[in-house]
Structure 1
Amino acid sequence: MPRRKGAPEVNAGSMADIAFLLLIFFLVTTTIETDAGLDRMLPPIEPPDTDVIIKQKNIFTVNINKNGQLLVEDQLMDIKDLREAAKAFLDNNADGTCTYCKGRKDPSSSDNPTKAIISLKNDRETKYSTYITVQNELVGAYNDLRNREAQRLFGRDFTEMEAEYLNPETPSSIREDLKDKVKRIQDMFPQKLSEAETSTAN
């Protein structure tokens, strides 16, 4: 009886090369999503040369407790009313130096937009979603006022101009033109949003 031949061998010599090529292919073609995060300007590390005295009326205090309730200027407030309250504070113009402000000039509120500071503080047990919602409303107050002035001066929204300016695909000539316009609007309503240290729950 003739001897049976064994099963044919598979040449695996190039399998490592194929696996390596597939690995390179997937590394090159796969996109990894990254979180954009929050755009915030951090204060400088160096302390100021002179002590800056800030009047209490120029600080708009917003506190969030662990239950998600808002205490604005020591008064309970619904989150839907926060943006308008913040805009009224920023646009108040108590000292009359702001030529573009349309506020009530309430002597007990902020002197002008350059001195107005919004202080946001939350409890350690505050829900993250609540904190971000409140923060978005406060940033929205700045953007609404900036949009108003950008429409008056340049006929378009500030948020649109800023997005185009920050877009790396925008041609350099257009970005250069937008640079001074964006800075001018930012200087009119500087975003002074102080995020205070979280308080310990009682």
Structure 2
Amino acid sequence: MPRKKSRMSQEVNAGSMADIAFLLLIFFLVTTTIASDKGITNVLPPKIDPNNPPPEIDKNERNIFKILINSNDQLLVEDDFRDNTDGLDKEIKEFVMNFGDPDQENMDLYNSLPPVLKAQANRDPESSDHPNEAVVSIKTNRGTSYDLYLEVLDKVKKAYYEIYAERVGLTADEYRALSSRTAAEKELMDRGKENIPMAISIAEPDKGGE
């Protein structure tokens, strides 16, 4: 009696494929970098102790550059109405680098500036006394859009970073890319900011609609 030919099994062994798929999944989980939002890198003030209120600061009005943003995303900059932020960074830069009434320490600061910054420095007696006194105040409303608030804040910081960068011979982007990981970069960062603090006051939002 002739022997029957054995039929080859048509089933696929899926066990090894599952193992390979599992290994590939582990590989991608280990090697994939997932981007995360960092948010705004602002240092929040400490909580106020009701038993130890902060001292009142007597600041001359001319040393405060006031920016108000209402619930309709309209700006009031130094009592001047506008509907966009065009040129805001340039105005802030001029305000910060004004030497309207400098003391000896700030005259020394002025004399130490590179020519490019010294040429931009003003002596307007109606503006800030000197960079150490200049404060930029941002006040919003409960209805102010987050996008516009960030746009204004970015313009303010841009003005300061341009000052710091020009002081050490860099572009604003190059200065912002510096870190404190190396002594040379930290020295550039500190030299750019020396005696020119980034003084930004962010007031508590108004509750009203205007």
* TM-score above 0.5, yes or no: yes
1:26 — aligned with what? 28
Partner amino acid for 1:88? E
Choose 187-196 or 94-103, whichever is displaced more: 94-103
Are the counterparts in 1 of residues 65 and 135 from structure 2 also a CA contact under 8 Å?
Answer: yes
User: Quick check: 1:144 aligned with 2:148?
Assistant: no
Once the two structures are superposed, the pairs formed by residues 114-129 of structure 1 within 5 Å of their partners are 114-129=132-147
Are the counterparts in 2 of residues 124 and 199 from structure 1 also a CA contact under 8 Å?
Answer: yes
In 1, Cα distance between the equivalents of 2:78 and 2:175? 33
2:113 — aligned with what? none
User: Quick check: 1:53 aligned with 2:57?
Assistant: yes
| Regions of 4+ moved over 3 Å | 7-19, 41-50
Deviation at residue 96 of structure 1 after TM alignment:
1.6
In 2, Cα distance between the equivalents of 1:50 and 1:132? 28
In 2, Cα distance between the equivalents of 1:122 and 1:53? 21
Are the counterparts in 2 of residues 94 and 111 from structure 1 also a CA contact under 8 Å?
Answer: yes
- Identity among equivalent positions (%) equals 39
1:172 — aligned with what? none
Q: Number of matched residues?
A: 188
2:68 — aligned with what? 63
SS in 2 for 1:165: coil
User: Quick check: 1:163 aligned with 2:177?
Assistant: yes
Deviation at residue 63 of structure 1 after TM alignment:
0.8
Once the two structures are superposed, the pairs formed by residues 23-102 of structure 1 within 5 Å of their partners are 23-44=25-46, 51=55, 53-57=57-61, 58-77=63-82, 78-97=84-103, 98-99=106-107, 100=110, 102=121
User: Quick check: 1:185 aligned with 2:192?
Assistant: yes
Asked which structure has the greater CA Rg, the reply is: 2
CA RMSD of aligned residues (A): 3.1
Partner amino acid for 1:65? N
Q: TM-score, normalised by structure 2?
A: 0.72
Are the counterparts in 2 of residues 118 and 194 from structure 1 also a CA contact under 8 Å?
Answer: yes
Are the counterparts in 1 of residues 178 and 186 from structure 2 also a CA contact under 8 Å?
Answer: no
Unaligned 5+ segments in structure 2 are 111-117
Unaligned 5+ segments in structure 1 are 169-174
In 2, Cα distance between the equivalents of 1:132 and 1:53? 27
Are the counterparts in 2 of residues 158 and 182 from structure 1 also a CA contact under 8 Å?
Answer: no
Partner amino acid for 1:139? K
Deviation at residue 120 of structure 1 after TM alignment:
0.8
SS in 1 for 2:66: strand
In 2, Cα distance between the equivalents of 1:49 and 1:27? 51
